[in-house]
Amino acid sequence: MQKYNNIYFLGIGGIGMSALAHFFANTNYKVGGYDKTPSEITAKLIKNDIFIHFEEDINDIPKAFLDSQNTLIVYTPAIPKEHKEFVFFQENGFTIYKRSQVLGMITENYFTIAVAGTHGKTTTSAMIAHLLTHAQKNVMAFVGGIMNNYNTNILLADTTKPMIVVVEADEYDRSFLTLSPDIAIVNSVDADHLDIYGDKNAVTQSFEDFIGKIKEKGILFIKKDILPNIKYEYKGKNKIIVKDFSLENIVDANCYAGNFIVQDFHIKEGKFCFDIKTPIQKISGVEMRMAGFHNMLNALAACAAAEAVGISGEVIRNGLNTFTGVHRRFEYLVNQEDTNKNIIFIDDYAHHPEEIKALLTSVRALYPNKKITAIFQPHLYSRTRDFVDGFAESLDLADEVWLTDIYPARELPIEGVTSNIILEKMCLKNKFLYTTEQILEKISNLDTNILLTVGAGDIELLAKDIQKKIRN
């Protein structure tokens, strides 16, 4: 990449793409790009002197970026193949890389911690980045969400000194196979992205391929039993160390629960409180502000990675206790102290049945005997079709559910696939299909204790409007 002066991004407003754009802008490259819609992310990029335009038009691109010898093109697979700018760059001799390829090139010469999993990548990566920063390590992190502690999705390091790089290893489009980490985490392997993979077996195979990319004498931290044959297949083949983690001992104290486990779990003042038992120490007094059983599991993985690079138990505990979470991951938009109404409002990115199940189970544990109303926006027609039964089952864990229309993202409609197919499968009595306008009207007379907005689309815009209405 040193031969180029300019980096141009197609889809620069994406959370992963924007992190790379900030990285290159702070490494003395001229950076620009296209995105479909303005957002808070693109506003931050523009503030960092990065050129962005929002119309699909070659004439809007500054001349400097149209020099194929000096400009590298980076794109996200979400960009349609027929996109005018994408076609232009292909036809005019530009070097074009996927985001994942560029991330692989950036990290190949540094000690890298890569976090993989169909769920939990962003939170775990953010936790690790925070623990390393808290321990005063020289860390660079590319995170798929806005870290609340730093109000950014990237941490920049001093590249003239030894450093640790933390990255999300994204399974979508098999992107994580461009990485060769020193430490890898796999915290979940569920069927997802079936528009790419076809079936669960192909998903599992891709994770096995990712594990095969770990550097010799590297370390794999993996949730117990999600890939039961990995421990035996790869330990000798790659000469890697394999350790597992889980929450199983909370359910069955007599079972083998893993090398990293939780002890003395309890809930206190809205926090998940527990101790962590590792192979070499016990870390007592963890009080996580970011609640949730799934986030407790993420904390175990983050602890394992931090311990592996020499961070003490005391620093790990203090780091976890000061971690304030990630935007749209179990994020409180209204607490009881924010309003004289008896309502708690939480916004969450969950868009897979297992994620929704983890969210609702955790909320129920935090607030037993409280009425929970979930507003869910399905994400992608294909995902709605493929997991309709799972969505119905997980949403039935709430007391009342309001469904919105499907957020299409990169997809065209599929005949017969609407939010109504989830509604029809649900057993819950109080289930409704509403427009955004209807939801905002009903918020004024809301009859619930706990309100959730859930989904990976543009429901966060609705969440902001709801937040204003509740507070007013």
- Give the pLDDT of residue 160: 87
Q: What's the average model confidence in pLDDT over 446-471?
A: 94
In a domain, 401, yes or no: yes
Give the amino acid at 89.
F
- Residue corresponding to tokens 């790379």: 20
| CATH number reported for the structural domain that contains residue 242 in this entry | 3.40.1190.10
Q: What's the average model confidence in pLDDT over 391-402?
A: 98
89-120: per-residue pLDDT in tens?
A: 999 999 999 999 999 999 998 999 999 999 99
Q: What's the average model confidence in pLDDT over 412-439?
A: 96
Q: Between the CA atoms of 210, 215, 221 and 226, what dihedral angle is there, to the nearest 10 degrees?
A: 30
Q: How confident is the model at residue 232 (pLDDT cuts 50, 70, 90)?
A: very low
Closest CA to 240 of 259, 223, 216: 216
Flag whether pLDDT at 287 surpasses 70: yes
In a domain, 102, yes or no: no
Residues 113 and 150 in one domain: yes
266-280: per-residue pLDDT in tens?
A: 999 889 999 999 999
Residues 190 and 305 in one domain: yes
| Backbone angles phi and psi of 420, in degrees to 5 | -65, -25
Residues 361 and 421 in one domain: yes
The whole-angstrom separation of Cα 153 and Cα 122 is 10
Least confident of 28-37, 251-260, 304-313, 341-350: 251-260
Flag whether pLDDT at 190 surpasses 90: no
Q: How far apart are the first and last CA of the chain?
A: 51
- Give the pLDDT of residue 229: 65
| CATH number reported for the structural domain that contains residue 72 in this entry | 3.40.50.720
| Backbone angles phi and psi of 286, in degrees to 5 | -75, 130
Q: How confident is the model at residue 328 (pLDDT cuts 50, 70, 90)?
A: very high
Neighbour count for residue 289 (Cβ, 10 Å): 17
165-175: per-residue pLDDT in tens?
A: 999 998 888 88
Flag whether pLDDT at 251 surpasses 80: no
Least confident of 125-129, 233-237, 245-249: 233-237
The whole-angstrom separation of Cα 59 and Cα 57 is 5
In a domain, 135, yes or no: yes
Flag whether pLDDT at 128 surpasses 50: yes
Residues 92 and 154 in one domain: no
- Give the pLDDT of residue 231: 57
Residues 297 and 348 in one domain: no
- Give the pLDDT of residue 341: 61
Flag whether pLDDT at 185 surpasses 80: yes
Residues 337 and 280 in one domain: no
In a domain, 465, yes or no: yes
Per the structure, the count of domains in the chain is 3
41-97: per-residue pLDDT in tens?
A: 999 999 999 999 999 999 999 999 999 999 999 999 888 889 999 999 999 999 999
Residues 163 and 295 in one domain: yes
Question: Could you tell me the residue range of the domain that residue 174 belongs to?
Answer: 108-322
In a domain, 164, yes or no: yes
Flag whether pLDDT at 235 surpasses 80: no
